Structure 1
């Protein structure tokens, strides 16, 4: 799949809707978030950002928006036209991965940039442009990797059981896994983080920890990609006549 079709598929209506809803969500936050919520994070850019982008927001708002991004991947993976063009089910998974990467990058940049603008609008911006750009890039990369993992969980479940409700439930579970683990002291440990908690930055966090978090998310994405490709190769609709798994 060439770059142009990927770009068109990635920046489609679902991506526009998810990003627009994300910006609207920031507007709601601006209207309702109390200034006092920022008091303990003054002067700390990561903490200020996560005041407006908490785990609660991630689980109950951002993950549902990522589901919007991922649904069209399910249609792509079982589209006879895509399968014929790709040549195999495994190759169609590679197309879905490229689209997921592009969508996730756009969505993550929207989430991080709008969060930083919200911090500034609330009057807590005391940071240089260099610090802001550095944080924007690193945080957007981590959130994009998390979004890719979510979409691949959804795709793998869809390819495995051809059930949209199961696919949605699986990504909702993955997206909330770290949040649910936080309620158990035994499970709330950085070594056990698998999702959203790997995107959390701290002002004093070593670069090595950031890299390890990114690599852990990347490893999860690669495992899901290979697993999805393996399942798809066994259900190659272009060879079977197609139509069995269309949404």
Structure 2
């Protein structure tokens, strides 16, 4: 088999796999153009003529406010999670302090405990602190991100040369200056990867908002989608259209940062 034929077959195979992977998203998009009852009567493969009515149903549910809430929660969670994780990872990877290994082991231990076990205590804590009527309870859990700390620690430990940090300190740079001027450029792939993961996790989070949010004006995308429809009728077509609209920011982010995301994953898999 010649190299050109092998390349052609590989390209065709990758194209078929890509089409197969995109098929569910295509079907989801098409289903949003049909009336709810039509979804149960036939298999839909071509666009329908009920898209405008479904858009009106979605718009009537104040979906723009729901969208804004999700953006605020996800962007805030991502920025704070990456910043805190990078600071903690820098400390664990390049500094020596008392009980460092024990503290790091405690951080890793929290990764082994399912988050659902602490939900009741977390809800009580947020009510005691007076935050239950805000979006803060949806942001704070991502700030203390054990996976992010572990990820950044392993990446910084192997990707940032200690000699470069020592040279910067000799030149009079503070630890804050070293972090932002030296460390950040080295760990850009790790930052991109963690940012995409945290944004995706926060954007798709359903259980925590379901338990802690009791005001429709604070709903995020998952809660907003489930609330579409009337008291006696679930409008699945409108929900699927809302789901399609809610998927676009994630697709856009992955399209923009896919190269850095893959580079960060592959670097993290072979380093440390």
TM-score by length of 1: 0.33
Q: What's the TM-score, normalizing by structure 2?
A: 0.31
The structure whose Rg is larger is 2
